[in-house]
Amino acid sequence: MSVRIAVPREVTPLERRVALVPEVVQRLAKAGHSVTVEAGAGLSAGYPDPAYAAAGARMEDDRKALFASAEILLKVQPPTEEEAGFLPPGSVLVCQLNASRNLPIVARLRDGKVTSFALELLPRITRAQGMDVLSSQATVAGYRAMLIGAELTPKFLPMLTTAAGTIRPAKVLILGAGVAGLMAIATAHRMGAVVEGYDVRRAAGEQVRSLGAKFLELAINAEGTGGYARELTAEEKQKEAEMVSKAVAEADVIVTTAAIPGRKAPVLVRKEMVERMRPGSVLVDLAAETGGNCELTRPGETVVVNGVTIAGPLNLPSQLPYHASFMFSKNLQAFLELLVTKEGQRVAGYTDEILAASLVTRDGTVAHKGTADLLSAGGGP
Ligand SMILES: NC(=O)c1ccc[n+]([C@@H]2O[C@H](COP(=O)([O-])OP(=O)(O)OC[C@H]3O[C@@H](n4cnc5c(N)ncnc54)[C@H](O)[C@@H]3O)[C@@H](O)[C@H]2O)c1
């Protein structure tokens, strides 16, 4: 028994990743599954068609035929409405659906009787670590954000002793020390900068210090449920602003990564703080997509305010598509192990905790409560 798996080319503007890389295709083919890949799907990530063919994939030029043939369709981005319409009833879609922001697509999948799983809804439990796309892609984003900071600063990052004089190391400040922030810290440290990190979760302190950086400690521990941060009270926000303001004024490069699940990103760097920054300093706002950690961030743009460069890059994982796709693909491989039995059949029920939490549509209904509530509240068709 085998399952027919299909991987299309991503059509979202600026998306360079692909859902499966040849190495994972080969594993699935060896396990007896048939894998069809759209021609050119991996090209912009550095995986050419011959590599897929050599791994055992069948290449398909016709997008509609590819979608129509899928028992399980694997994607990075949510499908377009047209793509959702190509999927046959009873097929399974696995991707980053961003369900709450894509209600019309969810409705289309529901009406088309497609079973869909949203990878951003995976519970962040130990057993799900291998399939956690939020973590793998945040690792890429943190690394890229630091490289953008290094490229935009007019300074060296490391200390240098040269015949032309001694250069002091740059000061890098990372606000938010979750998965992306820790990767940015590690990257800045490897580049020779003096690094400071800040997070509202006290547990992050040990991780920041273990990477060779100083932890900015506030007398607050805002650890909420599931290891995530909670929103600060007004009084706590004031204390935070005082401490952050001083560190911001002294930094050469700032990377901000602070997020609270399901909410707009907290604003940590206000306009007045930017005004106190030195000309030439740089802020890279990794939270640009969810509103920004800096008040002056313009999503998708790089602006200069009083000589301070503020970058608000979008879809950073797509800027390192080879390894972002590799990690995403490994995550999908782990997810498929839950979805397909060892005998090569799709599992009948989705009772497994991980599948149940990420299931969005099934048999013409919306199974995910939060999304169903949004739809019935008039947020979609
Ligand atoms: N499977 C697992 O067990 C698993 C997987 C991934 C992450 N995690 C844990 O989840 C936690 C957060 O992960 P994430 O990177 O996805 O988080 P995230 O993207 O939701 O947030 C990024 C960081 O911003 C911080 N933050 C929020 N408000 C802030 C504020 N006002 N000031 C400063 N920082 C603020 C958060 O504490 C978090 O560390 C970490 O403890 C991580 O280790 C666990």
Position 237 scores a pLDDT of 84
Rounded to the nearest integer, the mean pLDDT of the chain is 94
pLDDT digits (tens, 9 = 90+) for 268-296: 999 999 999 999 999 999 999 999 999 99
Q: What is the pLDDT of residue 221?
A: 74
354 lines ligand 1 (CB under 6 A): no
Q: Is 228 in the active site?
A: yes
Q: Say how many Å lie between the CA of residue 177 and the centre of ligand 1.
A: 7
**Would the CB of 177 count as within 6 Å of ligand 1?**
yes
Dihedral angle of Cα 103, 108, 110, 116, to the nearest 10 degrees = -80
Catalytic, 322? Answer no
Q: Which pLDDT value is given to residue 352?
A: 94
In this predicted structure, what is the pLDDT of residue 80? Answer: 96
Do domains 4-131+321-379 and 141-314 share one topology? The answer is yes
pLDDT in tens, 186-210: 999 999 999 999 998 888 999 999 9
Tell me the mean pLDDT in the region 38-45: 98
The reported pLDDT for the residue numbered 303 is 98
| DSSP letter string, 30-89 | HTT-EEEEETTTTGGGT--HHHHHHTTPEEES-HHHHHHT-SEEE-SSPPPHHHHHHSPT
Burial of 363 (0-12, 13-18, 19+ CB in 10 A): exposed
pLDDT digits (tens, 9 = 90+) for 256-267: 999 887 788 999
As its CATH architecture, domain 141-314 has: 3-Layer(aba) Sandwich (3.40)
Summarised one tens digit per residue, pLDDT across range 61-70 is 999 999 999 9
Q: What is the pLDDT of residues 318-357, one digit of tens each?
A: 999 999 999 999 999 999 999 998 888 888 889 999 999 9
Q: Verify whether residue 199 is a known catalytic residue.
A: no
Annotated active-site residue 252? The verdict is no
Domain 4-131+321-379 is found in CATH 3.40.50.720: yes
- Residue 243's pLDDT is 85
Which tokens go with 81? 């409405």
Name, in order, each residue with C-beta under 8 angstroms of 254's C-beta and a sequence gap of 6 or more: 149, 172, 173, 174, 175, 248, 269, 281, 282, 283, 284
Helix, coil or strand: residue 355 = helix
What pLDDT does residue 222 have? 76
Q: What pLDDT sits at residue 380?
A: 54
- Give the model's pLDDT for residue 1: 57
**Position 229 pLDDT exceeds 80:** no
Q: What is the mean pLDDT of residues 160-179?
A: 97
Residues paired with 4 in a beta bridge: 34
Supply the pTM of this predicted model.
0.94
Domain limits, the chain: 4-131+321-379, 141-314
| Residue length of the chain | 381
The pLDDT score that the predictor gives to residue 344 is 81
| Beta strand pairing call for 282-285 and 302-305 | unpaired
Any ligand 1 atom below 6 A from CB of 260? yes
Q: CA distances (Å), 68 to each of 71, 84, 87, 127, 154, in order?
A: 9, 10, 5, 32, 52
Residue owning the nearest CA to atom 2 of ligand 1: 124
Q: Is residue 358 among the annotated active site residues? A: no
**What residue owns the CA closest to ligand 1's atom 20?**
259
179 C-alpha vs ligand 1 centroid, how far in Å?
6
Backbone angles phi, psi at 158, to 5 degrees: -80, 165
CB atoms within 10 A of CB 380: 17
pLDDT tier for residue 379 given thresholds of 50, 70 and 90: low
Residue range 100-141, pLDDT digits in tens:
999 999 999 999 999 999 999 999 899 999 999 999 999 999
Angle at 262 between CA 257 and CA 266, to 5 degrees: 40
